[in-house]
Chain A
Amino acid sequence: MRGITKSFGSAKANDRIGLTVYSGEIHALLGENGAGKSTLMNMLSGIYRPDSGSIFINGKAAHLTSPKDAIAKGIGMIHQHFKLVDVLTARDNIILGGGSGFFLREKELNEKILRLSDQYGLDVKPAKKVYEMSVGEKQTLEILKVLYRGARILILDEPTAVLTPQEIEKLFAIIRNMKARGCAVIIITHKLGEVMAISDRITVLRRGEAIATVETNRVEIPALIEMMVGRKVDLSIKRVRYEDRKELLRVDGVTVINHEKKTALDGVSFTLHGHEILGVAGVAGSGQKELCETIAGLQEAEKGRIFFENENILGKTPRDIIRLGIRMGFIPEDRLGMGLVGSMDIVQNIILKEYQNQRGFILRRGPSVEKAKQIVDRLEIQTPSIRTPVSRLSGGNIQKVLLGREIDSNPKVLITAYPVRGLDIGASYRIYDLLGEQKGRGVGIIFIGEDLDVLIELCDRILVLSGGKVTGILDAAQASKEEVGFLMAGGAA
């Protein structure tokens, strides 16, 4: 790829990026959110077209105008969110969109699939339906799907986000196998540990520009971070232990059936103390969302009790629970989906939690204007003014508005889910500091996290969820990643 430029509005997502990937190589594309990794790869896989610049495959210029073009040229992308049809079998998913011939020659296909999976060491059962598969199996199927279509260049977008540490090892084995067979593999990620473990070379992107391409065995993690962020970052989390912890919240045997009629939480019990950060680890979709929502009163539970200062709060309305001092800073994938209103400004978003305590019919903004100013100052939020719609702020600043509002209300319990998702490294550590500050004030914090390293460093205890069950509660100071991973996969049970 040479001189690739792509703009969205006045923002240059990619600015004259050059990237060379050789066969038999695992190439990591590293960068913070918004650095332009996905944009670049979407152009390679034919989803976007570059504004300028050109792509060469095997030395020949290629104009990719659609994903079909890209597939024909041997480029296959495996997206973060799987693109599989749940009710079909593995085989049907593989041939879907392949479109050669009218009749399906089942036996022939089965053989071809099995031959391919043998070659690359993939474990796929052609007749198994997708909805019966684990996340790891689905991913393997995605890989097989692109290989079946003759891909020699594979792009994996954040492939490890939904996997347990054990599944990640399996995936890496597959990737190494592909490398051995002469494929070129590009991995998009922001997890540094994985980059060091798997890749041969690394290209770092920052704000749409290619900063450097380096050989993995000649570089250290701090140097990579500096390249990603553009400056030195202090990556230590202070964890202070407090001894006088008293019980704040006790969750007792809570079972929740979610709106998809699945058991999302199964007899979950734990306690949360003041002066404590309780981490919650688990593969995505293990019941984290339901746990947060149940405590906040947004989700009905089938069974169980939740005591807050010796009062059962299960069955109370969200409004009552807010009054008790339980605050949820729940940050879903689309940060603005729950908690903030994108088209409203900071003041109006702060009113969201204030206005119900106002008496009468009229909405008073005065106090919230003051609060907004304070929050912007204290958390160093970068915004043109407090009247700017929050959707126009950057991810980190949006997060700060949300967190700032919740902290400002003097909570006793604070629930944060993925509070640093999508944030750059500096902003993430600012958020960790803020949480630490709250802990110092005696707040009990539930921290739903993704990055095990951070969970182990930041939290006092780690609760592990697997399929809606608590598979263990560990002392973070003594926990190892392997141990947490083992529990994430379901533990002994």
Chain B
Amino acid sequence: MILPFKIAKRDDVPKNKAALILILSIVLALVLSGVVLLFFGLNPIKVFGTIVTGSLGSAMRIQQTLIKAIPLTIASLGILVAFKMKFWNIGGEGQIMMGAFAASWVALNNGDLPSPILLPLMAVAAIVGGGVWALIPALFKARMGTNETIFTLMMNYIAIKFVTYLQYGPWKDPAAKGFPKIPAFSGNAVLPNVFGLHAGWIIMIILVAAVFLFMNYTKKGYEITVVGESLDTARYAGMNVSAIILVAMSISGGLLGLVGMVQASAIEHTLTWGLSSGYGFTAIITTWLARLNAITTLFVCLAFAMLLQGADYIQLALNVPSSVAGIVEGIILFFVLGSDFFLRYRVQWIGLARARAEADGLPLRGGAAE
């Protein structure tokens, strides 16, 4: 087959050019999303505009956007620690649910403890809950080399169904007149507001800094990176690879578990089966887009939270299904991942005529014959 262009590997791309390619890919993604919207009979300019006004247009909407950014960022940090080790933890949803479950168990049984004691207890429980849930696949991976992708994915369903069972069964609120819900937490178990936003944002900022420092400036962070880059090198350097996998996954799961605590305490005021709202999956996208850097993760998550909030808003304002925003998300990810190809290869347009000539073996130029 004769193609009118050539593909060649290229050397490292300078940073500003790489950024340009990235921005270009996002612009292209938006253009293509626009075409898809047109196809649905929607005005893309209006939809995009409404997404922006819907996420930033008023103090209340900004608050809603931030409320979505908090769990997304913390979840992304958890995913980051695992991905840095090339441990493909796609069990974020389950780890969030188990964290929420553990926090709720503490909150429901100790409702009369004062907040300064109860909230940290809930957080610790959530970290343990999420951590243990992540530790199970990690143990199997470290001991038997099982595939963590399938394993962590399946653990999601177990966790979600377990919480559903609690909600419809043993934990059902008898006072709810048969309505399947778990009793609400006491006021002591709810995260307080700080500057008009629940205190989760403080946790988020601390964790961004902590994860950044941990990955870049500690021995454990270094070990995790080495294990991710080359297992053989890690073993050769005398690292205890199994132990590192277990530690990293407890941290990863612990962070995701904390997301569950924040959501249960600040948003839902109880445990519900829909509490994870897909943050565990969306975090995979944001972490990847942020190229596994904790600081970048914060900004990517803020942008994605806008998209999520905007999606909710267009549903109300334009009567458009929020899945439209899901399509936009997917297209952006597709383009950004695709842009990697252009970072690695140079595509050169040579035209059909020349391609044919070359294929026929006619020396065009530089053909110093023997």
Contacts and interface: CB of A to CB of B under 8 A. Distances in A.
Interface of A: 2-3, 5, 7-11, 16, 18-20, 51-56, 61-63, 65, 296-298, 317-319, 321-322, 328, 330, 332, 336-344, 348, 351-353, 355-356, 358, 361-363, 392
B215 to A, nearest CB: 10
B369 A342 contact: no
Interface string B215-236: 0011111100110011011011
A62 B360 CA distance: 8
A8 B229 CA distance: 24
A21 to B, nearest CB: 12
A406 B366 CA distance: 47
A2 B359 CA distance: 14
The 9 A-B pairs of least Cβ separation, nearest first, read: A18-B370, A319-B238, A54-B361, A3-B367, A338-B232, A61-B361, A318-B238, A341-B229, A9-B11
Given A7-B8, A336-B230, A363-B218, A330 B367 contact: no
A254 B62 CA distance: 68
Contacts, number: 123
B81 to A, nearest CB: 16
A148 B165 CA distance: 67
Contacts of B369: 2-3, 18
B240 interface: yes
Nearest to A319: B238
Contacts of A5: 366
Q: Size class of B's contact patch?
A: 35 or more
A355 B239 CA distance: 11
23 contacts: A2-B363, A9-B10, A9-B11, A19-B370, A52-B364, A52-B365, A61-B361, A62-B361, A298-B235, A317-B240, A322-B238, A328-B236, A332-B232, A337-B230, A338-B233, A338-B236, A339-B236, A352-B233, A358-B219, A361-B220, A363-B217, A363-B222, A392-B12
A18 B366 CA distance: 12
Contacts of A11: 11
Contact of A361 (B219, B238, B366): B219
A404 to B, nearest CB: 15
B362 interface: yes
B6 interface: yes
Q: Pick the most buried of B225, B237, B369: most chain A CB atoms within 10 A of its CB.
A: B237
Contact of A16 (B6, B359, B366): B366
A320 to B, nearest CB: 8
A54 B236 contact: no
B151 to A, nearest CB: 22
Given A298-B235, A361-B218, A361-B219, 13 more contacts: A9-B10, A20-B370, A51-B8, A296-B236, A332-B232, A338-B230, A338-B236, A341-B226, A344-B229, A356-B219, A358-B219, A363-B219, A363-B221
B2 to A, nearest CB: 9
Interface string B1-44: 10000101111100000000000000000000000000000000
A364 to B, nearest CB: 9
B340 interface: no
B365 A337 contact: no
Contact of A362 (B10, B217, B365): B217
Contacts of A53: 363, 366-367
A353 B237 contact: yes
B365 A317 contact: no
A338 B361 CA distance: 43
Contacts of A55: 361
Contacts of B194: none
A217 to B, nearest CB: 22
Given A9-B11, A54-B363, A63-B361, A352 B370 contact: no
A95 to B, nearest CB: 28
B85 to A, nearest CB: 13
B144 interface: no
A52 B236 contact: no
A65 B2 CA distance: 10
Given A8-B8, A336-B230, A361-B219, A298 B367 contact: no
B105 to A, nearest CB: 31
A342 B230 contact: yes
A52 B237 CA distance: 46
Contacts of A343: 229
Given A2-B363, A3-B363, A341-B229, A351 B368 contact: no
Nearest to B359: A63
Contacts of A348: 222
A53 B367 CA distance: 6
B112 interface: no
Nearest to B222: A363
B236 A10 contact: no
Contacts of A353: 237
Nearest to B8: A7
B18 to A, nearest CB: 15
A341 B230 contact: yes
B365 A342 contact: no
Interface string B263-278: 0000000000000000
A415 to B, nearest CB: 11
Q: Pick the most buried of B221, B229, B361, B368: most chain A CB atoms within 10 A of its CB.
A: B361
A336 to B, nearest CB: 7
B238 A63 contact: no
B222 A355 contact: yes
Nearest to B227: A341
Interface string B319-358: 0000000000000000000000000001000000000001
B230 A52 contact: no
A319 B230 CA distance: 17
Contacts of A339: 233, 236
A61 B8 contact: no
